[in-house]
Structure 1
Amino acid sequence: MSDPFPHRIVCLTEEPTEVLYALGEEHRIVGISGFTVRPARARKEKPKVSVFTSAKLGEILALEPDLVIGFSDIQADIARELIHAGIEVWISNHRSVEGILAYIRRLGAMVGAHEKAERYAQRAEAHLAEVRAAAAAWPKRPKVYFEEWDEPIITGIRWVAELIGVAGGDDLFPELARESLAKYRILADGSEVVRRAPDIILGSWCGKRFRPERVAQRPGWDAIPAVRNGDLHEIKSPIILQPGPAALFDGLDAIHGVIADWVRKQE
């Protein structure tokens, strides 16, 4: 019996590529996002046919995919064009840690790798539990402000806020983290960060380097404990701003490491 599962997959974002490689199913991928950095070998092995908000439709069609995988309403226009061209498209829209775990399991099932996906998801769950248990032993939890963009100021999305909690901190804007769209997480007044007085500032400016000195120079921000104590840190975008495995492993570990250093300084 021939393989009934998709065997010519185009990944419009990084997380399906990372998952399929982790499951040993990378032979099914025929095209990837130009923003893909994980795993590194994917960039060398697969043609790059899209960025987050646009795609090379002609090149995608030339690859004759039997499935195109994307993420979120932001890629709705790309999905619409592909569907009009007769291509099967799956757009996931998960925004939470549980959503990422479900995504791994769902994608694995779609390519006939249910058991491998289940083992991989369980590895991620075990890692989350391990980090959460380590953080639970600490005597104090810092208030953590996560900044996704600087002009305008955009606060962290839900899975980031949840991972901050797992790592041992309390997200500074939990009410905004529930908003799925970045435009609803814009801070009109940066003085609200000053008022809430975070102990740690984490920056991950998607697509450009975080500049802590610029953050520290914002009017009134010198009163923030994190600024006074020099606790401003970059979390690299590829390991935290993709709703995939990178966030559950390397992203979580990076945040946990920063918080652990802060805890040690309180002793």
Structure 2
Amino acid sequence: MSGPRRIVCLTEEPTEVLYALGEQNRIVGISGFTVRPPRARREKPKVSAFTSAKIKAILALRPDFAIGFSDIQADIAQALIRRGVEVWISNHRSVDGILDYVRRLGALVGAAARADAYAVELQRGLEAIAAQATALPRRPKVYFEEWDAPPITGIQWVAELIRIAGGDDVFPERAQESLAKARILEDPGEVVRRAPDIILGSWCGKRFRPEKVAARPGWAEIPAVRDGQLFEIKSPRILQPGPAALTDGVADIARIVRDWARRPVPA
């Protein structure tokens, strides 16, 4: 066996990728938010959240490698590095970045060929959805909300998946901002002015409440609210920068967009 043999996955996406590559035996600990694949929750101890981790429990697992995501996990990474654990913090934010992440993680565990084949499979799935979207009679404007208080718009890979699925993100300029605080809507009235046809909510683990969104001051005039086009996409399916977003997440968006595009045009 080449590469690290005892891996702690501090977020969900490395667990999903390693299971997909058949390298799950290397995993000794996972994030408590992990839901994919379901068997991972039964088989592996849960030792971290997203912004915190059980450092002593992780060290007890004798890991030789830990994998996390973004600057938000910098403190966890620092604590592990100080105790001699090698840490890889990825920081990918795009669809291409997710595909590259699959390949890089595969190479790290000596499964480069399988990882490349998996990435190709994911890419082909996206291409098929994009091809189907070109046949739709019209494209909706889509507002994606990552959090509600304060409202936070969607990150780059989400905006890209909306486009692949046949829609157009109404805040493309904000999607380029990697940090959530840079995507906070100081003026929620801007959503009213951009008039989305569809509103998608994925509130980072808590249930999306379309009735609360529709009741916001002035939002009744938004086409999506007027026509009842408010939908939840579960955060494990779209807000992780891993395979789930490129399969289940984009499929959810594509279905919603397809149904909207085939609706009779309001008079």
Question: In percent, how many aligned pairs have the same letter?
Answer: 71
* Cα distance in 2, alignment partners of residues 119 and 238 from structure 1: 23
1:130 corresponds to which letter in structure 2?
A: A
Cα deviation, 1:162-194, whole Å, max 9, x if unaligned, reads 000000000010000000000000000110000
**Offset of 1:140 from its aligned partner?**
1.2
> 1:191 aligns to what?
189
Q: Is the 8 A contact 2:205 2:234 kept in 1?
A: no
Q: Equivalents in 2 of 1:99, 1:66: separation in Å?
A: 25
| Alpha-carbon shift at residue 139 of structure 1 (Å) | 2.3
1:1-57 Cα offsets, whole Å, 9 max, x none, are xx2311100000000000000001000000000000111100000000000000000
- In the alignment, structure 2 segments of 5+ residues that lack a partner are none
1:114-263 matched pairs, under 5 angstroms: 114-263=112-261
Number of residue pairs aligned between Structure 1 and Structure 2: 265
SS at match of 2:228: coil
Provide the secondary structure at the position in 1 that maps to 2:262. Answer: helix
2:92 corresponds to: 94
Deviation at 1:74, TM superposition (A): 0.3
- Give the Cα separation in 1 of the matches to 2:95 and 2:264: 29
- Tell me the SS of whatever aligns to 1:35: coil
Match of 1:21 in 2: 19
Amino acid at match of 2:49: V
TM-superposed CA distance for 1:141, in Å, is: 0.7
Deviation at 1:207, TM superposition (A): 1.5
Q: CA separation in 2, counterparts of 1:129 and 1:51?
A: 33
Partner Cα separation in structure 2 for residue 5 and residue 16 of structure 1? 15
| Amino acid aligned to 2:163 | G
Do residues 103 (structure 1) and 101 (structure 2) align? yes
- 1:82 equivalent in structure 2: 80
What SS does the aligned partner of 2:174 have?
A: helix
Contact 2:165 2:250 (8 Å CA) reproduced: yes
Query: What 5-or-longer segments of structure 1 have no aligned partner?
Result: none
Q: CA deviation at 1:109?
A: 0.4
The TM-score normalised by the length of structure 1 is 0.98
Runs of 4+ with deviation above 6 angstroms: none
Give the counterpart letter for 1:54 in structure 2. Answer: S
Q: Which amino acid aligns with 2:132?
A: A
Asked if structure 1 preserves the Cα contact closer than 8 Å seen for 2:137 and 2:262, the reply is no
Q: CA RMSD in A?
A: 0.6
The 3-state SS of whatever aligns with 1:265 is coil
Q: Could you tell me how far apart the structure 2 residues matched to 1:90 and 1:191 are? A: 40
TM-score (ref. length: structure 2): 0.98
